[in-house]
Chain A
């Protein structure tokens, strides 16, 4: 089978073969429960889990004791936000976040609103980044927690979490960061970063799906209420038998990310820049999100005068993500692009390309050729492109409603 070229590394990455190899023994030979204290099966598994905890901690400059295993970044976001908000609700019930956050953050916030919390949702600037003055202005005496993602999943922009964290720390506000998209892409040093809680995922960094972690700072100690109750695993913050093979996979994936980050990023940047240069030869294309303060492997572009769904049809030989979710009757443009103030038409015709460790130059060349050919074809079909070529300002046209 001739499979599409995979340019969707921001959605998920394949497990690195080195990672898969490390995981396998823990499914059969070394299958013990890390919580079993009475025999060597348990000790062996526990040792593997603790090594992985060190590997994860090392990538992000944390103490291994600050790493809590979860099922993924979604659970980490839920645990961090709901756990901290509930624990500290006696101090205040106001939370701050950004409209371009991942749904795991936004929906947790919505849920907390139903529990009586008040949430301020800040819009980013048109480049996707948060204005620190607007953030400061949103802080209230009863603000207990702010949550701002490190790297945006759609447009790849990198928020200044150091500056935001300092604003929070000065006012005694807890700061949570969703870092699912940044591990292995941006250096993270929690030893110096003013961040209290940070969410991680394995499968965006060449680890397996179904495993993640939450950093919970110990100095000064950050208290959270557990979501999962049971055997008191993970110091009571997350009960449930540890998935040793998954944890081993995440540890190895993060070890490799730590060792190879510079090479990975250099390669990704060269491929992304080649893709960008190739696609920029087309007229009326727009990059969504800041191009400089951005992870090296992400390119999110809108192709004006081409409709999103037809563009995705043309992408059948490339696996990419669309800024338009055309799963149902109504086309719903990406809420992230909308929050940047992009008009619906441009949001609809956006494509997120994300390259990775196994992308080749030939993949990029084929993609440029294919996208260019199809955008040209669709524009030849587009009455809007024709009107644009004739110099008609489409925003001034009276369209017949239907």
Chain B
């Protein structure tokens, strides 16, 4: 398996590895995947009072592409509103890391982790979970509130 330079860079120097206190109301946790499938991603986001993601951290059990996908999104999430974060698509991740077709599922998992982390945060804040049908505007309003 030949890995792209970007995947190798994230694998060798993973960004933002770690965890926050998952009981902190400002922290959203997204845990996706299963050990039997070969990937488990845990994404933590810390959301400021202004609804902007201050920091993101990850831990991933998975192949180099899964590690790189989650490492990359922690960089991308920083400074984004939740609405902006939800606009990160797996195709963006796959393109940035030049993932081969057999590794596209790693980027899908990273996108799922973002959604799961945001939904966890929203649940803590008493908001309804985001679904793919929720218009972004509504969500903007909700997070702004």
Contacts and interface: CB of A to CB of B under 8 A. Distances in A.
Interface stretch (A123-131, A218-226, A234-242, A324-332): A324-332
B79 interface: no
Contact of A399 (B19, B34, B64, B102): B34
B11 A345 contact: no
B59 interface: yes
Interface stretch (B38-46, B81-89, B123-131, B136-144): B38-46
Contact of B19 (A310, A329, A343, A386): A386
A331 to B, nearest CB: 5
Interface residues of B, number: 33
A402 B61 contact: no
B14 to A, nearest CB: 6
Interface in A358-397: 380-386, 394
A340 to B, nearest CB: 17
Contacts of B61: 305-307, 381-385
Contacts of B36: 343-345, 399
B57 to A, nearest CB: 11
Contacts of A385: 61
A313 B3 contact: yes
A50 interface: no
A331 B37 CA distance: 8
Contact of B112 (A305, A306, A402): A402
Interface of B: 1, 3, 11, 14, 17, 19, 31-42, 59-64, 66-67, 101-102, 105, 108-109, 112, 116
19 contacts: A306-B61, A309-B1, A310-B11, A310-B63, A310-B67, A328-B102, A331-B38, A345-B36, A381-B14, A381-B17, A381-B59, A381-B60, A382-B59, A383-B31, A386-B59, A399-B35, A400-B33, A400-B34, A402-B39
Contact of A383 (B3, B37, B42): B42
Contacts of A313: 3, 11, 63-64
B91 to A, nearest CB: 17
